[in-house]
Amino acid sequence: MAPKDPEATPVEALSRDEAATELQRLAQAIAWADAAYHRDDAPEISDADYDALKRRNARIEARFPDLKRPDSPSERVGAPPTEGFAKVVHSVRMLSLANAFDDEEITEFDARIRRYLGLAADAPLAYTAEPKIDGLSLSLRYEAGGLVQAATRGDGTEGEDVTRNVRTIGEIPERLEGGPDLLEVRGEVYMAHADFEALNARQEAAGQKRFANPRNAAAGSLRQLDPSVTAGRPLRFFAYGWGALSAPLAETQMGAIERLSALGFPTNPLTALCDGPGEMLARYREVERRRAALGYDIDGVVYKVNDLALQERLGFRSTTPRWAIAHKFPAELAWTQLEAIDIQVGRTGALSPVARLVPVTVGGVVVSNATLHNEDYIAGRDSQGNPIRDGKDIRVGDWVQVYRAGDVIPKLADVDLSRRPEGATAYVFPTSCPECGSDAIREEGDSVRRCTGGLICPAQAIEKLKHFVSRAAFDIEGLGAKQVEQFYLLGWIREPADIFTLAARDAAGEKALVAPQEVLAGLHDEERGEARERLADALGLEGFDREEVARTFERRSRTPLSEQLGWGEKSVRNLFDAIEERREIPIERMIFALGIRHVGETAAQLLARHYGRWEAFLAAMDAATDQAGPAWDDLLSIDGVGAVLARSLVTSVTQDAERASIDRLAGELTVLEAEQPDTEGSPVAGKTVVFTGKLEKMTRAEAKARAESLGARVSGSVSAKTDLLVAGPGAGSKAKKATELGVEIIDEDDWLKLIGAA
């Protein structure tokens, strides 16, 4: 059990008996945290919390030396679970693959590539096909033939340095002969079935936890802090790709794989060349047929365009290469019973139903929750009103079939009406918010029902704050989702601006922004049991008693954070330092952090680039309030901004309460001007370019992607703001308009010459 947080009595005030009791409690709590960290590779409490426990233990021991226990945590040897793995930024992003689940999607994949490349349906186009190993991706960096770094995939941009562990894997060469000077090899670490069974037998004999499946075993083994543990684990490796290179490996994917094999890397023996969708699908069946006998887990077949020059032309979408796709095997299914349907309220007020299930193992993992999407889904209809699951609705008590979409997200596939319990009634979707009681309404044509409470809804307020501190927004170290939620419940932070005044209020001994009566007022009716529980929990109380809650609420408001359990002086200082660091914030993060519907990372980036300065952005929003006029048109002229986004943005930013909150926040900050894309030496940076007519050396999509990578804005129509028109043969009205407006016109060859210089 996790240690609760009984309001910490100052060490000085502890009686002897209390001290002895607490030392025992601390010893247990620390041992529990250690075990959770080492055994499960999943710390249950934060490093800061852990440090605070240890420090309090040490202080009590210092005051009562004779009470020191034989199992005192301060005597424990071994590395404290502070340092994890160093972060590694990948020089070339490790992307994921687009997925396909049926044959048709593979035909479409081929057609899409041909279209993009401008190839006829019958032109030759070869693909490689290889089994998709179910393990963990790894990037191995070799310099001058020697392995210098191994990193996990992480989020694709930044992974963890696992070099010391990887050096213990026999199948990964330490040195290469005759490779390029710089070579990053990418592949999959996995554990074979036989090795997995043997490992689990050993784990069990040693009284340790069995691993749920080979992939978890491989992941757990690779992420050992002690490389000697990894050395004892039977990890294996298949190379399938590469990142940074000082010289090309080959001209084709197949050639590159053969080269990696010649350099000493294991490559998958089932890798084959296919000349089109027909052969690809035949290969898929073949691999599927041999799946059970392979001796290791695979979850599909990956196809890649064989010609590397074509791969380069195809390039990437935002998170996946265009030249590859993973054809997944059908997901495993399992039947279980639906215990309850809960409603969660998101940042935008969306009411999302979640299925609480009798736990069931699906694909090696125990699943107890699954998404139910929205009210139509429960009723057995899709957003167009067409029946899904043959129109069967879902009721509490039903037997339902579960699968893990993409091997991750649990979903329901079917309902067994023959086993429906007698008296089961159709689920009635709430029409008021379960968190704040406000009306929950569904807009015309929308599939989700939303709480109309806005910021008075605690769920929305908390989710908005979580979004605010999230990685792509303010990313404040030491202030994660958990802390934000707790600070909100304790009344210390109600809106983003409050984060930046917290340190001062802490020093002044008055953190709460609301009176306890006010907090309690919202908890009157009996239905709000959950909210009461959460508040009691945040206060560290076992039960809910109004007077005790109010008392504790005030005491915690007055007690400096550094004296509260779970926090120590150092962690508090780190938190406040991290907050101070974010008083300077890039404008794109600021815009994203506001959490406006339809404005995600990408849209925020576009807006930041367009307006440059924060004041200019706000002024433009004000000028566009009436949704007409030059400011409104200017907003809509941004490529990627349409009417829906614009309306959502302008109404949010100019709405009084919201705006006041934004201004309070901005008052605490220095918002940094947008950085233009890194296009040093690009002749077209910041220019607005329009393509028209037929392009002969590249497709329109390629031309657009290339121009944007050089910092140009590509627009669809010629206007006074257009700097350059690239006109191929057959250009018509656009060329005419450009001439009228005096916009420079060049042909495709001139364009290539122009950007070739970059």
Given the rule CB under 7 A, which of 4-12, 108-116, 476-484, 487-495 is the region that contacts DNA?
Answer: 108-116
Q: How far is the CB of 299 from DNA (least distance, A)?
A: 10
Does position 410 interact with DNA (CB under 7 A)? The reply is yes
Name the token pair of 586: 């890039």
Q: List, in sequence order, every beta strand (DSSP E) within 164-207.
A: 182-190
Cα(499)–Cα(667) distance, integer angstroms: 12
Candidates 73, 131, 179, 349; binder of DNA (CB under 7 A) is 349
Q: Concatenate the DSSP letters of all residues of 399-432 into one string.
A: EEEEEEETTTEEEEEEEEGGGPPTT-------SB
Given the rule CB under 7 A, which of 54-62, 96-104, 242-250, 554-562 is the region that contacts DNA?
Answer: 96-104
Question: Is the distance from CB of 252 to CB of 307 less than 8 angstroms?
Answer: yes
Cα(462)–Cα(481) distance, integer angstroms: 9
Cα(656)–Cα(179) distance, integer angstroms: 63
Of 492, 495, 486, nearest in space to 455 by CA = 495
Kindly report the length of the chain. 758
**Helix or strand run (H / E) with residue 113:** helix 103-117
The nearer residue to DNA, 146 or 642, going by C-beta atoms, is: 642
Candidates 203, 261, 371, 679; binder of DNA (CB under 7 A) is 371
Candidates 367, 503, 593, 710; binder of DNA (CB under 7 A) is 367
Given the rule CB under 7 A, which of 287-295, 376-384, 674-682, 726-734 is the region that contacts DNA?
Answer: 376-384
Name the token pair of 536: 């009691």
Given the rule CB under 7 A, which of 491-499, 561-569, 632-640, 650-658 is the region that contacts DNA?
Answer: 632-640
Question: Does residue 132 have an active-site annotation?
Answer: yes
Cα(387)–Cα(344) distance, integer angstroms: 25
The nearer residue to DNA, 646 or 718, going by C-beta atoms, is: 646
The nearer residue to DNA, 234 or 364, going by C-beta atoms, is: 364
Cα(615)–Cα(348) distance, integer angstroms: 26
Cα(733)–Cα(549) distance, integer angstroms: 72
> Between helices 569-581 and 47-63, what is the axis angle to 10°?
150
Q: Concatenate the DSSP letters of all residues of 59-99 into one string.
A: HHHHH-GGG--TT-GGG--S--TT----EEE-SS-----EE
Name the token pair of 17: 């008996």
Q: Concatenate the DSSP letters of all residues of 631-698 into one string.
A: HHHHHHTSTT--HHHHHHHHHHHHSHHHHHHHHHHHHT-EEEPPPPPS-TT-TTTT-EEEEES--SSS
Binders in 35-54 for DNA, by CB under 7 A: 40, 42
Q: How far is the CB of 311 from DNA (least distance, A)?
A: 15
Q: How far is the CB of 119 from DNA (least distance, A)?
A: 14
Provide the mask over 633-672, with x wherever binding to DNA is found by CB under 7 A and - wherever it is not: -----xxxxxxxxx--------------------------
Burial letters 218-240, b for 16+ CB under 10 A, else e: bbbbbbbbeeeebbebbbbbbbb
Does position 99 interact with DNA (CB under 7 A)? The reply is yes
Collect all residues with Cβ–Cβ distance below 8 Å to 141 and sequence separation of at least 6.
147, 148, 149, 150, 151, 182, 183, 184, 243, 244
The nearer residue to DNA, 147 or 402, going by C-beta atoms, is: 402
The alpha helices in 423-492, defined as continuous H runs, are: 458-469, 481-489
Candidates 28, 46, 432, 447; binder of DNA (CB under 7 A) is 447
Candidates 9, 200, 337, 352; binder of DNA (CB under 7 A) is 352
Q: How far is the CB of 315 from DNA (least distance, A)?
A: 9
Of 435, 434, 417, nearest in space to 426 by CA = 417
Active-site residue identified among 54, 132, 511, 734? 132
Does position 719 interact with DNA (CB under 7 A)? The reply is no
Cα(650)–Cα(626) distance, integer angstroms: 9
Does position 574 interact with DNA (CB under 7 A)? The reply is no
The nearer residue to DNA, 471 or 524, going by C-beta atoms, is: 471
Binders in 169-228 for DNA, by CB under 7 A: 212, 216
The nearer residue to DNA, 538 or 591, going by C-beta atoms, is: 591
Q: How far is the CB of 180 from DNA (least distance, A)?
A: 29
Question: Is the distance from CB of 734 to CB of 690 less than 8 angstroms?
Answer: yes
Candidates 445, 730, 742, 756; binder of DNA (CB under 7 A) is 445
User: Quick count: other Cβ atoms within 10 Å of Cβ 96?
Assistant: 13
Q: How far is the CB of 206 from DNA (least distance, A)?
A: 19
Q: How far is the CB of 705 from DNA (least distance, A)?
A: 7
Candidates 603, 689, 724, 738; binder of DNA (CB under 7 A) is 603
Candidates 115, 175, 419, 697; binder of DNA (CB under 7 A) is 115
Given the rule CB under 7 A, which of 360-368, 511-519, 573-581, 739-747 is the region that contacts DNA?
Answer: 360-368
Q: How far is the CB of 460 from DNA (least distance, A)?
A: 9
Does position 96 interact with DNA (CB under 7 A)? The reply is yes
Candidates 700, 737, 750, 758; binder of DNA (CB under 7 A) is 700
Q: How far is the CB of 371 from DNA (least distance, A)?
A: 4
Given the rule CB under 7 A, which of 371-379, 475-483, 493-501, 735-743 is the region that contacts DNA?
Answer: 371-379
Q: How far is the CB of 273 from DNA (least distance, A)?
A: 25
Cα(758)–Cα(745) distance, integer angstroms: 19
Does position 602 interact with DNA (CB under 7 A)? The reply is yes
Does position 470 interact with DNA (CB under 7 A)? The reply is no
Of 713, 706, 711, nearest in space to 756 by CA = 706
By rule CB under 7 A, what count of residues binds DNA?
65
Q: How far is the CB of 347 from DNA (least distance, A)?
A: 4
**Which positions lie near DNA, rule CB under 7 A?**
40, 42, 96-97, 99, 112, 115-116, 212, 216, 317-318, 344, 346-350, 352, 354, 365-371, 373, 377, 382-383, 405-410, 445-448, 463, 596-604, 638-646, 700-701, 704, 714, 716
Residues tagged active-site? 132
